[in-house]
Amino acid sequence: MSHFSQIKTQIRNLASLQAALTDLGIDWKEGPCPVRGYRGQTINAEIAIEQDNGYDIGFSWNGNEYELVADLQFWQQASSVDRFLSKVTQRYAFQTVLNETAKQGFQVAEQQQNEDGSIRLVVQRWRG
């Protein structure tokens, strides 16, 4: 019996996910690679995050989005699963906005981290 939980996300772009994890200072490995769980069980994922306790967290493509996969019994992060996903999702959205606006010729003019945790981003495009 598998102990892995699979938590749905709205994350669909691997490069933005990787950039978000890097922004958050999270060490990750690019897959496909095994995510380790209870009693040596593994599940393959596109991204694996090793934990000090020998159990991993991963992000696995389900055909529609990247799901967080982990044996939650062995969660060993500084924040809860919900808070972890919230941080990752916020940075993912930020990276996605940066990538999409850059494709359209915009550059970041101003970036501000607000006290409530939100990010204010001003982009501009010069026309010649």
Q: Specify the 3-state DSSP secondary structure of 109.
A: strand
Mean pLDDT of 99-113: 90
Mean pLDDT of 28-54: 94
38, 73 Cβ separation under 8 angstroms:
yes
Whole-Å CA distances, 120 to 18, 23, 54, 80, 105: 21, 16, 38, 25, 19
**Per-residue pLDDT tens over the stretch 81-104:** 999 999 999 999 999 999 999 999
Is the pLDDT score of 57 beyond 90?
A: yes
Q: How confident is the model at residue 60 (pLDDT cuts 50, 70, 90)?
A: very high
Q: What is the pLDDT of residue 1?
A: 52
Domain boundaries, the chain: 5-124
Mean pLDDT of 50-57: 95
How is 30-68 classified by DSSP, letter by letter? EEEEEEE-GGG-EEEEEEEEE-TTS-EEEEEE-SSSEEE
Which residue in this structure is represented by tokens 């990752």? 88
Q: How confident is the model at residue 128 (pLDDT cuts 50, 70, 90)?
A: low
Percent over 70 (pLDDT), the chain: 98
